[in-house]
Chain A
Amino acid sequence: MKKFKFISYFTFAIAGIVTTALVSCEREFSEDITLATFPTIPEVFTDNPVNLTDEFFISFDPADGANVYGFDTDNDAYKGTQAIKIDVPAPNDPNGSFIGGIFLDRGEGRNLSEYTALTFWAKGSTTATVGLFGFGTDFIEDKYTVSLEDTSLSTAWKKYIIPIPDPSKLVQEKGMFIFSAGTQSTGNLGYSIWLDEIRFEKLNTFAQARTSIMSGLDVNRRVYNGEIIIDETQQTVNLGDGTELVTNIAPAYLDFHSSDPTVVQIDAQGKIIVVAAGTATITASFNGVEAAGSLIVESNGEFISAPTPTQDAADVISIFSDTYENVNIDFYNGYWKPYQTTTSADFDVKGDNVLVYENFNFVGQQFSDPTVDASAMTHLHMDVFIPDTLPSNAKLILTIKDFGANGADGGGDDKTQKVTILSSQLKGDAWASIDIPLSLSQRSKVGQFIFENGGSAVTNLYMDNVYFYKQ
């Protein structure tokens, strides 16, 4: 049995392997002929990887928990002599809690435009639901990705079909296959998946594609100038057996339209760019047919960044800023149940990251691993932006919590400093810089901030440049 090497994410840089692209051409080409298209080989894996190198499998990043030890071949094949066998690890596996990765064409890529679907045969050692199968992911561009979520495997071989939304786009595709599997469906018990006869095919048994964006709903979103990425794009097809199959398809398969180009423009690459304040509805079409759903953009125009901090980095312990290196953060929103309504919609405007709290009543930020020794610090700084008109009763209550000797939240040794920020210190539709003198006597193990609106009408706010400093 042949063992295949995996190359995990950090070494996948292509090392000059350019032998594959011409393999399918049986004739010699004269010097002055340029290849019109890339190879059209349909097979990905039959008994061996087809027209792929031995290093065709690239695992997801082990740092993210991907287990790189469960990928092998096996002679329990659907057809021929070998299949791929994947051992899905249990969550407590020290080598990683899930398995997945891509099969990469390390050559120039393939022209798949004459095929209509990726097909493969699969079975499990037990009935299980596999998180993701698909193609189009190459860890480089990931441009024309298609993924099928939550595929049920049985213990008998069964054929699976993943339609190509628009084959004419796949003229040079390198992402031949992708999978990702954990044990969510098996009660955390590890199991095996066999995959065989992975190939692209010209199937005419599925049809009636219906495309949607934003889950088919009309969704409102408040934005600022800059690029918007709509990735909630799906397609439903009717399979030959009459069942409906829903796949996630890359936005690059769709054409986007803007109802008001003075507010939202679609550039030549299909990027959606918000250029001015106002309202515009973004819709999409697939091969000329309108997709369900829309995104109604309410643009505030140019985003005004918070003032850039000027403190010397040596005098700062940063919780959230792009200017200083932040300490290790547990979370910027603890989603504390059951009373918290606050949701996060953090955004990044041209590299400026901003915390955005919506439906705000209270929210916690935590940095307990390790806690922060703010003994030498004199102040806490934060920039707060309250969109729209400032409510007359605007108020923000901040609790700074030191976790005490045990370094843990609770345990009877915690100390807090509570600060009320009044409307006179806040601004509507503008940044307010707030500097709070630290009065907390015990502040060598600060681990948490809690922000509350104190019953005021402050329900949306942005936050930036949250840091301790020494004056």
Chain B
Amino acid sequence: MILSVFFTSCEPDETQVVTNFTTITMQDEFDVAGAPNSGIWGFDIGRDTDGWGNKELQYYTDRSDNVVVEDGMLKITAVSESYQGAAYTSARLKTQGKFEQKYGRFEARIKLPWGQGIWPAFWMLGSNFDTVSWPQCGEIDIMEFKGQEPTIITGSLHGPGYSAATPVTKSYELINDRFDTGFHVFGIEWGEDYINYYVDDVLYNQITPEDADGEWVFDQPFFIILNLAVGGNYVGAPTTNTVFPQEMLVDYVRVYSAE
């Protein structure tokens, strides 16, 4: 790792602890066509309460129309169709109960969809999500994207006292490029008392307990979520200009731990 090179761009810190995460602990290259590997991925189905708490407009399914592995990629497709009372369908995959890990490097190589009201994300929730309430479980948003801002992604951290509209957050903007025309690697390196956020080879943020206006809840295992939402508080609704279907293409998901 050559992290020190990039610290110059975000407040160099002499006491920075750098851990190398080089041991692969989970890897899905999406090389086997068909449904996603059920040993790694489960699904959230439906609309949950109030559109997954965000007034999202889609109904999540595990149909191949919405989620399939083909051409060496995971394809999550948002479709404009009337389904179970929703105007859109899409998919949300999670490793809950299948793969959970404390600390490490979590990264995915993704080509993002685009358009007003399109909200793809690569994120994590604390594995105690079902036993303690959110945001006590903690939420690490490795990448969130608003389809109407095709050059910008955001990495955020939600916990008790800093959640919903007030997370610890930072955006990253590509220079003379955009996220829906090619694949980019989105990742975090997460250790004791820090989470580093990067896009491709650019580290653009580090969040530590000092940044969090509340309890630091990131010393326990988390599980991974990949989803493509339509509408909702964060992005607003699609318009007639929004082109459907929209695809979120995931080339791989890889997780590493320290040696």
Which of A's residues lie within 8 Å of B, judged by CB? Answer: 202-208, 210, 238, 240-242, 244
Contacts and interface: CB of A to CB of B under 8 A. Distances in A.
25 contacts: A202-B176, A203-B176, A204-B176, A204-B177, A204-B178, A205-B151, A205-B176, A205-B177, A205-B178, A206-B178, A207-B150, A207-B181, A208-B114, A208-B180, A208-B243, A238-B115, A238-B150, A240-B150, A241-B149, A242-B116, A242-B146, A242-B148, A242-B149, A242-B150, A244-B241
Interface of B: 114-116, 146-151, 176-178, 180-181, 241, 243
Chain B CB count within 10 A is highest, among A202, A208, A238, for A238
B200 to A, nearest CB: 14
B181 A204 contact: yes
Given A206-B178, A242-B146, 9 more contacts: A205-B150, A205-B151, A205-B178, A207-B150, A207-B178, A208-B114, A208-B180, A238-B115, A244-B241
A186 B216 CA distance: 58
Nearest to B173: A240
A244 B148 CA distance: 10
Nearest to B148: A242
Contacts of B149: 241-242
B243 A210 contact: yes
Contacts of A244: 241
The interface residues of chain A, by DSSP majority, are classed as: loop
A242 B116 CA distance: 8
A206 B180 CA distance: 10
Contacts of B115: 238
Contacts of A238: 114-115, 150
Chain A CB count within 10 A is highest, among B178, B180, B241, for B178
Contacts of A207: 114, 150, 178, 180-181
A242 B152 CA distance: 10
Nearest to A239: B150
A240 B243 contact: no
A239 B241 CA distance: 13
Contacts, number: 35
A242 B117 CA distance: 11
A307 B181 CA distance: 60
Chain A CB count within 10 A is highest, among B147, B150, B177, B243, for B150
Which 4 A-B pairs rank lowest in CB-CB distance, beginning with the nearest? A242-B148, A207-B181, A204-B177, A240-B151
Contacts of B114: 207-208, 238
B109 to A, nearest CB: 18
Contacts of A240: 150-151, 178
Contacts of B116: 242
A211 to B, nearest CB: 13
A206 B149 CA distance: 11
A207 B147 CA distance: 13
Contacts of B151: 205, 240
A429 to B, nearest CB: 43
A203 B148 CA distance: 18
A207 B174 CA distance: 14
Nearest to B146: A242
Contacts of B181: 204, 207
Contacts of B180: 207-208
A204 to B, nearest CB: 5
A207 B179 CA distance: 10
Nearest to A208: B114
A102 B99 CA distance: 63
B154 to A, nearest CB: 14
Nearest to B241: A244
Nearest to A244: B241
A202 B241 CA distance: 26
A203 B174 CA distance: 12
A157 B155 CA distance: 33
Contacts of A208: 114, 180, 243
A238 B149 CA distance: 10
B179 to A, nearest CB: 10
Contacts of B177: 204-205
A356 to B, nearest CB: 35
A202 B116 CA distance: 25
A405 to B, nearest CB: 60
Contacts of B146: 242
B222 to A, nearest CB: 31
A205 B174 CA distance: 9
Contacts of B178: 204-207, 240
B255 to A, nearest CB: 30
Contacts of B241: 244
Chain B CB count within 10 A is highest, among A202, A240, A242, for A242
A162 to B, nearest CB: 17
Nearest to B239: A244
Contacts of A204: 176-178, 181
A240 B173 CA distance: 10
B132 to A, nearest CB: 37
A210 B180 CA distance: 15
A207 B176 CA distance: 12
A87 B161 CA distance: 58
A240 B115 CA distance: 11
Contacts of A205: 150-151, 176-178
A241 B173 CA distance: 11
B217 to A, nearest CB: 34
B230 to A, nearest CB: 16
A129 to B, nearest CB: 21
A207 B241 CA distance: 14
Nearest to A236: B241
B180 to A, nearest CB: 6
A59 B100 CA distance: 69
A205 B176 CA distance: 5
B228 to A, nearest CB: 17
Contacts of A210: 243
A206 B151 CA distance: 9
Nearest to A242: B148
A182 B131 CA distance: 68
A244 B150 CA distance: 12
Contacts of A241: 149
B173 to A, nearest CB: 9
A52 B146 CA distance: 43
Contacts of B176: 202-205
